[in-house]
Amino acid sequence: FPQTEGRAANLDLISIYTDPFIIYIYIASTPFFVGLYQAFKLLNFIDGSYAFSQGAVNTLRNMKFASLSLIGFIALALFYIRFFAQGDDPAGPTALGILASFAAAVIATASAVFQKLLQNAVDLKSENDLTV
């Protein structure tokens, strides 16, 4: 349990979970779960043979925006840890934040590239469907 060690050793659960940083982390996890849902949705498009559809392009766009917003949330959390958490060693959370930001940046970049390629393929497919 969180009240067994560290700064929260003498606090109850209500005091621990009403900490503004903990609330921020719960809110900041929303883009991660949105991106995870969009990845699952994209896999369902691929499984259902709808990989080259506008829905798949929109799903990739949503994944890109979720990854970019996750990077922003992580950057704000790192700023808070670095400048407002005096007396703590910020090296571990900073390294984890940089690693998570890098992973999210890779996902955002891959999503953007695949979105552009898939949009071109969808446009080509719709153009070929109009040709007899």
pLDDT tens string 88-127: 788 898 999 999 999 999 999 999 999 999 999 999 998 8
How many distinct structural domains can be found in the chain?
1
**Residue for token pair 């670095």:** 82
Task: Determine, yes or no, domain membership for 12.
Answer: no
Residue 74 buriedness (CB in 10 A; 0-12 / 13-18 / 19+): buried
Task: Determine, yes or no, domain membership for 70.
Answer: yes
Task: Determine, yes or no, domain membership for 45.
Answer: yes
Task: Determine, yes or no, domain membership for 91.
Answer: yes
Instruction: Give the integer Cα–Cα distance in Å for 30 and 26.
Output: 7
Owning domain of residue 82: 29-130
**Residue for token pair 């060693």:** 89
pLDDT band, very low/low/confident/very high, at 17 (cuts 50, 70, 90): confident
pLDDT digits (tens, 9 = 90+) for 34-68: 999 999 999 999 999 899 999 999 999 999 999 99
Task: Determine, yes or no, domain membership for 126.
Answer: yes
Task: Determine, yes or no, domain membership for 20.
Answer: no
Residues 6+ apart with CB under 8 A from 16: 2, 3, 8, 22
Which tops the pLDDT comparison, 90 or 74? 74
Task: Determine, yes or no, domain membership for 4.
Answer: no
